Each structure stands twice: as C-alpha cells, then as structure tokens.
Amino acid sequence: MASSLITALTVTTPHAIGAPALITDGEHNGLLHALAKVPDPRDPRGIRYPLAAVLAVAVCAVIAGASSFAAITDWLHDLDEHARNRLGFGNAVPASTTMWRLLIRLDPTLLAAVLAGWLHTRTDPPGPPPRRYRRVIAIDGKTLRGARLGDGRQVHLMSALDTATGIVLAQVTVDTKSNEITSFAPLLDAVETVLGTLAGVLFIADALHTQTRHADEVTIRQAHLLVQVKGNQPTLFKQLKRLPWAQIPVGDRTRDRGHGRRETRTVKAVTVATPGGITFPHAQQAVRITRTRIIAGRSSRETAYLTVSLPAGQALPRDLQTWIRRHWHIENRLHHVRDVTFREDQHQARTGTGPAVIATLRNTAIGWHRTTGATNIARATRQANRRSNDLITAVTSSYPRTQ
C-alpha cells in the first residue's frame, strides 16, 4: 500500500472529553430496594419467602466468600435472628433446596442488569474527572469448565467490564449453537440499559470481534471500538502489516520490570487518510504495538495490529497504550479471581440458569469489593464474612446522593 494513503500521527491538542452524565435518581438505593425489580418466577400462591430477601442473602453470602448454592444457605443459617430480619426474613428461613430451586429459575441477564445498576448508582465519581476522561469497557468471554448442560455442552458467558470501577456492567449467555459473535449486540444493549447511553464509550475486544457488523453496531450507538486484528480477517491483517511502519515515528514507549522479566512496549499509530486506506468500517487509526520481553536472559518479540474508531486528537499513542493494557483487566481482575478465589471451574452447576446466576453473583461480589477499594479480593471476602453485620448494613443502606 502506498504511503500516500496514510499520514503519520502527530501530537495535536486534544478536545476535552466530558464525563458521562451522573446518575440522577437522587439517592443510592439499598440492595433490597434494587432487587424488588427482579420478577418472581414463582406462583404467587403459597410464597413463604420474599424473592428480594433470597437474592439479598445470595449477594451478601457471595460477597462473604460463598462459592456454591449450598454455601449461600449455610451463610444464611449462621446469621442471628436480627441479621436475618434486616435482610427481609421472618422467623423461618428457607432450606438449601428451596434456595437452589428458586435461584436456578431466574433470568440471569435481567439479574445481572439489576445488580450492575445497583453497583453503578453506588459508585461516586472520585472527584472531577480528568480532562481527557473516557469510559473504557473491556469485552471477553469465559467458559465455565465445571458447568455442563443436559446434553454435555459447556456454558459460555460473555461479560462487559468497566475497567475504571471493576464493575461488570452486563453479562449474557452465549447460545450453545453459536459463538460470541452473535451475542455482541445483545451485550451492548445490556450495557446501554445500565448506563442509559453509550455515547463516547470505548469498547475493547479481542480479534474475534473484528467484525464489520460489530463496528456498525457500536457506531450506531455513538460509541467507539478498539479491536485487535489477526488471521481471522486476512485481508485487513495484510493491509495493516504492509503499512510503512518503519517510516512512522514511535508514539509511546513504556518499560516494565517485575516477576523476573523486563518488558518494553512500543506503540505506533497512523491516521487513515482515505476511505480505501483499510477495509474496516469506521476505522480512524491503524495501530501497531510491539512487545519485547527478556526473561532469564532470553529475548522474545511480539507484534500486534489493531484498529480504533477514534481520531488522533482523541486517542493519542499514550492513550492507546493504556487502553490496550486495560483489556487484560477482564482476565486478570475478573475471570482469574472467579477461578481462584471462588473456585468457579470446580463448581458443577448444571441445572436451569444456575451456572449463569452464580457467575452473576460472583461478578457482583468482585465489583462490590473493587468499589470499596479492595485489591485482594480473597482477603476482602474473609473480612466480609467475619463482619457480616457490617456487610448487611453497607449493602442495605440508602442515603442521599451528593450532586
């Protein structure tokens, strides 16, 4: 491709990017109030335990480290009468089978939206947002290795993580007869339900989502997309690889050291100068990132190519460097924690929507601890378990919001 099709990225004065509109509900709602929005799948006749109470116990128990439906019930039974009353129970509490039968009948996507909305409204902005503020949401899927359906197939979930707050804004179950590609638009819809608007939001996804339809879906919602390009898009990959990168100056370089290795990450970016520059809709810039690692004296080099729908003035190389690394948050700060702290891959939930429901509860627990400033989730769950009354007070409180 001729170099005339592109222009080297130059430092420009960026336009100020405003923070998203603040929540205007007027108050932070307590958990019981939020859970009242979840429809009860039971026949109204003969209901003994309020659905909101059952769900509140499930959320609190998982925040305190419960990793299974049985553990949720055990946590409830260990509470004193006063604590149970505060969560909405009377003199009696449900048995383990009762809790399980109810939880596996819930709509996991709706439950995820309600809980994400609850966490989102309780997250105060930490002061005025930076001048170049942008909400960055990482998208990735995860297979629940211990959970299988009746026909033996595994359950696969796709999540959208707010990389700034650590809150999973949405989670959808991937159709077992399809893959993540068909679940992308429903996930965007779920995120939009929680945030109210996607205008200005940047979504980061892996190469599987380098799809023309995905770029269109994001752009229609006035959002932006940053995706890696690999061999699943051979024409686009060749176009990016053949750009005159040697003529393009380095935009940003970082060096890290730790865990016995040294890593240098170099970012170059170019603005596409003509509509025919690269064959991917809405792409404003082509990006190349080179990672050089030295481990035990041995050096390795890896090159990745990406496209982003933001223009150069709104996505400088140092921004791209930061955003690309944030995509790892969903693996390191969410999926890894679910596996290690909550032993997700060992949990053999197989009935109804149970696998997705318990995963949603784990996402909520991790998001709760992230918003309270915890960096070690395992330690935070142990502390919550020791201070169950403090936990119940925190999650059930409603207090005025400072605008």
pLDDT in tens, 88-124: 998 889 999 999 999 999 999 999 999 999 999 888 6
Flag whether pLDDT at 24 surpasses 60. no
Q: Which pLDDT belongs to residue 402?
A: 36
The number of CA neighbours under 13 Å toward the Cβ of 388 is: 24
Question: Angle 210-214-218 (CA atoms, 0-180°, nearest 5)?
Answer: 125
Flag whether pLDDT at 229 surpasses 50. yes
Is the CA virtual torsion 140, 187, 323, 245 positive or negative? Answer: positive
Show the tokens assigned to 44.
Answer: 């109204």
* Pairing outcome for strands 27-28 and 136-148: unpaired
CATH code, 110-346? 3.90.350.10
Flag whether pLDDT at 84 surpasses 70. yes
Q: How confident is the model at residue 162 (pLDDT cuts 50, 70, 90)?
A: very high
pLDDT in tens, 61-71: 999 999 999 99
Q: How many C-beta neighbours within 10 Å does residue 238 have?
A: 12
Show the tokens assigned to 135.
Answer: 């909400």
Percentage with pLDDT > 90 across the chain: 71
The number of CA neighbours under 13 Å toward the Cβ of 142 is: 24
* Pairing outcome for strands 202-205 and 136-148: parallel
Is residue 256 within 8 A of residue 263, CB to CB? The reply is yes
Is residue 145 within 8 A of residue 56, CB to CB? The reply is no
Compute the radius of gyration of the chain from its Cα atoms: 23
Q: How confident is the model at residue 11 (pLDDT cuts 50, 70, 90)?
A: very low
Q: Which pLDDT belongs to residue 380?
A: 97
Q: How confident is the model at residue 350 (pLDDT cuts 50, 70, 90)?
A: confident
Q: How confident is the model at residue 2 (pLDDT cuts 50, 70, 90)?
A: very low
Is the CA virtual torsion 127, 133, 134, 138 positive or negative? Answer: negative
Q: Which pLDDT belongs to residue 150?
A: 63
Write down the pTM of the prediction: 0.87
Q: Which pLDDT belongs to residue 166?
A: 95
Q: How confident is the model at residue 146 (pLDDT cuts 50, 70, 90)?
A: confident
The domain ranges of the chain are 31-105+373-396, 110-346
Q: Which pLDDT belongs to residue 301?
A: 92
Flag whether pLDDT at 10 surpasses 50. no
Report which of residues 148 and 115 the model is more confident about. Answer: 115
Rounded mean pLDDT, 368-387: 96
pLDDT in tens, 294-347: 988 888 999 999 999 999 999 999 999 999 999 999 999 999 999 999 998 887
* Mean pLDDT of all residues belonging to the chain: 87
Q: Which pLDDT belongs to residue 95?
A: 92
Query: Max Cα separation, the chain?
Result: 77
Q: How confident is the model at residue 392 (pLDDT cuts 50, 70, 90)?
A: very high
